[in-house]
A and B are shown apart, each in its own frame.
Chain A
Amino acid sequence: MLIAEIREAVINGQAKVVATKVEQALNEGVPADRILHDALIDGMREVGELFEQGEFFVPEMLIAARAMKGALEILKPRLVAQGVEPLGRVAIGTVKGDLHDIGKSLVAMMLEGAGFEVMDLGVDVAPEKFVEALQNGAQIVAMSALLTTTMSNMKATIDAIAAAGLRDKALVMVGGAPVTQAYADQVGADGYAPDASAAVRKARELIAS
């Protein structure tokens, strides 16, 4: 069964196998949204579970996400043609002054793998860039920081969102090594996640609320 094989290859991080089999499935008439949901999203869900069980670590997650992303590129034009809507729109970035991107990029890929549309704003992202993303249709703002030095820019960003009159409709998530639930509460974020897999769960929860 092609879907099951694609799903398995995503979990194992076999980017080339995934790409080949996705093309094959499309040629055989399997609908793009079915490949997306049953192979990619479901495969990435299992990757998240394996990570939480301690079976998978960051490298395994990265290569699985890479394989998923390759497939998503192939499917995108068809999904657009089919009118498939994303689960939600997320603008993600590492806060101003912070240049660390591995964790942020991993969360971005896991969110994509869960069916979200992700605008990756990169590193050293100024508060006004997050505000701009909200004005451009993002529903969730996800901020990352690796340093306690830059963590305070999460608050600065939330303040900028409020100043732009967007706080009520924006969903704000925070994460990164030094960030805790207590800190998230302190800066007035809507959600906190300790790792990439939990971040997906939190984003789903926020968008459903």
Chain B
Amino acid sequence: MTRYLALTCEALARSVYAAAAATPHTVTVRLFRQGLHNTPNKLRAALQAEIDALPPGEWDAVLLAYGLCGNSTAGLTARHTPLVLARAHDCITLYLGSQDRYRAEFEAHPGTYWYSLDYLERSTDGANVALGAANLGLMDGVYEDYVAKYGQDNADYLMEVMGEWGRHYDRAVYIDMGSGDGSAYEQMARDEAQRRGWRFERKQGSRRLIEQLINGAWNEDEFLVVPPGYTIRPAADSLIMAESPGAGDE
């Protein structure tokens, strides 16, 4: 009997639960707050604390339902149990089901805001509704604060500079992962796209990578298996990440 512990970002909850229910293995799922990637040091610390607290011998592997996520998972060290994660920059790859599909989307439309049911239904911050490695949080409410601190002229300037990114975005995509009823959230994404003058698209996601992760089908091109005593490192090549001996120093 193979037992896995899946440390999972909330943004992937439904897909991980679905894969865990269907797999022949025994999988325990633990969720971590989404949005922690905005502070990679905190997310890394939370995951490492969980890994460090696991009793030896209980699990065959610790699965990380994460990508590199702004280097949040870089620096994580496997103790007695191997760590496994998909070679992905962020959850968009895991939603789309393959690196190739992610790369094609990213290269064709770098200015895309992504939306999903999981992310929206678990969002506690109503203003910050989109996905990805970059925290682009919307600036509502900040303006008054700037006027008070720096005067209106400077406040206008700061809003212009901080809002600059929005002008480079031109597309909103709602990814349907095929679980639950996301129609209300899809509508929310449509409304947001219209408000900002972005093109809206709806795309069918794929659980392929998440299922492979949960099923233990870890081909080397798509998954990194980190043996005990090794640490995850970011890589400058298409493998995205690598393992190196020793503990993390980040």
Contacts and interface: CB of A to CB of B under 8 A. Distances in A.
B72 to A, nearest CB: 10
B197 to A, nearest CB: 16
**Looking at chain A's contact residues, is the secondary structure mostly helix, strand, loop, or mixed?**
helix
Contacts, number: 86
Contacts of A97: 106-107, 110
Contacts of B70: 147-148, 177-178
A133 B170 CA distance: 28
A123 B71 CA distance: 22
Contacts of A180: 71, 234, 250
Nearest to A59: B158
Contacts of B236: 151-152, 154-155, 183, 186-187
A8 interface: no
Contacts of A113: none
Interface residues of B, number: 33
B240 interface: yes
A146 B110 contact: no
Interface size band for A: 20 to 34
Given A59-B146, A178-B234, A149 B161 contact: no
B90 A101 contact: no
B133 interface: yes
B134 interface: yes
Contact of A148 (B71, B110, B162, B165): B71
Interface string A146-170: 1111111011000000000000000
20 contacts: A15-B153, A63-B157, A97-B106, A98-B110, A99-B165, A100-B134, A100-B168, A101-B168, A124-B168, A147-B70, A147-B133, A148-B71, A148-B89, A152-B237, A154-B236, A155-B236, A177-B70, A178-B71, A178-B133, A186-B235
